[in-house]
Amino acid sequence: MAPHVLIIVQNLPVPLDRRVWLECRALRAAGYEVSVICPKGPGDPGYAVLDGVHLYKYAPPRQADGLLGYAWEFLYCWLRTAALTLKVRRRARFHVMQACNPPDTYWALALPWKAAGVKFVFDHHDLNPEVFRSRFGEPTGRAGKLQLAVLKWLERRTFRTADRVISTNTSYQDIAVRRGGVRREHTTVVRSGPDTSVMRPAYVPDPPLRGGKHLVAYLGIMGPQDGVDGVLEVADRIVHFHGRTDVRFALLGFGDCLDDLKRQCRDLGLDDYVEFTGRVGPDQISRYLSSACVGLSPDPKSPLNDVSTMNKTMEYMAYALPVVAYRLTETVVSAGSCAVYVEPGDTDGLADAVLHLIDDPARRAELGAQGRRRAERVLDWRPQAQAYVGVYDELLGFRSAGPFPDGWPAAERRTGPGVAPKDRWGNQLVDLRDQDALRTFAAARVAERLREG
């Protein structure tokens, strides 16, 4: 009988959580049975089977407000998750429980299952003590110090309960070893790399420009630590200070700050230039990132952001989209020389760097093509998937088929001999084997096609 892995996620539904969904698919392809417990997204059923993965979902709590609100949110999700583990067990015994943080509370749920012989794997997505410091600063009062101490204690308990720790980058791995006391041989780095066989640039016949000539994109969560308000400051400088009414901005995603950001946009007089898409799926991501000429990574420097891998940066690169970012430690590790860096906090510098790229197609060609190649050769999900499945194979002594038993999946489909390959939505894909075609696409994108039209 194939080993059964139960994955617990609290902060996003699956498959919207792209990292977790890639993990699920890698395990399934390797021959594991996989179940997931997570909150519902809009319209989601309580139970479904998708691509062989069993999804158990509960209604999410109302948005938390204040310390008591957050405490209730964690307790509610923990209890709903605990109840669903029993439901999963009634269907089939599971051999491993994988918890993805935040929060660092599921070690307490893992303990009774460990007593029954279940292994516990911690997929380390976030640094909750650093989240606290980033939002509130270093605490000086008794209450703040107590909250930080509790977060550190929960993190330690998670590390000490885990049989294996999966870290999203080497900075997180070092924290697991240094602060969590985990033996280094029990940690494995699995970066949240893009699946470049799916995330790849395409020619969009109807680009989402809303009357402009150039599109600047932001993709990601919109929380207090994500710096999305800085995108609006960049837009304000470009539109009102530089008078560039030919530029449009697309903010793809959702989060706690979305309503505040919409109010800020309106107050700045940017409603005609900024689009908030809300929650987006793969087709919309492809459409916007294939149409944009610059991708923004505005994450401010903080104890959390400096050592965290920003998925959006790597996803921009997968679409051959030039990146402008603040110079943060792990952002530089991801993008290398394939991005334009600005010193953290310099919003004017960020805006100026965006304009320079908009007006320099040769530089966009260079950065876009280099970024795509780095995404394929360094950041791609394929080696990450092999490392991820390897954790389970070693932990359980299981000889799996590996995450790609039939070889690396092809992203292209052709409708006949000599016909250009298309993506699953029918858009013509850029021929990535042709370096000149890739560079031309990275340079021209929307603006050139408008002039030709």
pLDDT at 67: 67
pTM: predicted TM-score of the whole model, two decimal places: 0.86
pLDDT at 70: 75
Question: Which residue intervals of the chain bear CATH 3.40.50.2000?
Answer: 4-190+381-396, 202-376
CATH, range 202-376: 3.40.50.2000
Q: Tell me if 381 sits within 8 A of 196, measured CB to CB.
A: yes
Q: How far is CA 181 from the centre of its chain?
A: 27
Q: Domain 4-190+381-396, CATH 3.40.630.30 — does that match?
A: no
Classify residue 117 by burial, with Cβ atoms within 10 Å: 0-12, 13-18, 19+: exposed
- Going by their DSSP bridges, the two strands 119-124 and 164-167 should be labelled as parallel
What would the two tokens of residue 7 be?
A: 């994955």
What would the two tokens of residue 312 be?
A: 């959006």
Classify residue 197 by burial, with Cβ atoms within 10 Å: 0-12, 13-18, 19+: middle
The residue count of the chain comes to 453
Q: Tell me if 211 sits within 8 A of 446, measured CB to CB.
A: no
User: Tens of pLDDT along the chain (453 residues)?
Assistant: 899 999 999 989 999 999 999 999 999 999 999 999 999 999 999 999 999 999 999 999 887 666 677 778 889 999 999 999 999 999 999 999 999 999 999 999 999 999 999 999 999 999 999 999 998 899 999 999 999 999 999 999 999 999 999 999 999 999 999 999 999 999 999 999 999 988 999 999 889 989 999 999 999 999 888 999 999 999 999 999 999 999 999 999 999 899 999 999 999 999 999 999 999 999 999 999 999 999 999 999 999 999 999 999 999 999 999 999 999 999 999 999 999 999 999 999 999 999 999 999 999 999 999 999 999 999 999 999 999 999 999 999 999 999 999 876 554 444 444 556 888 888 889 999 889 999 999 998 753 443 344
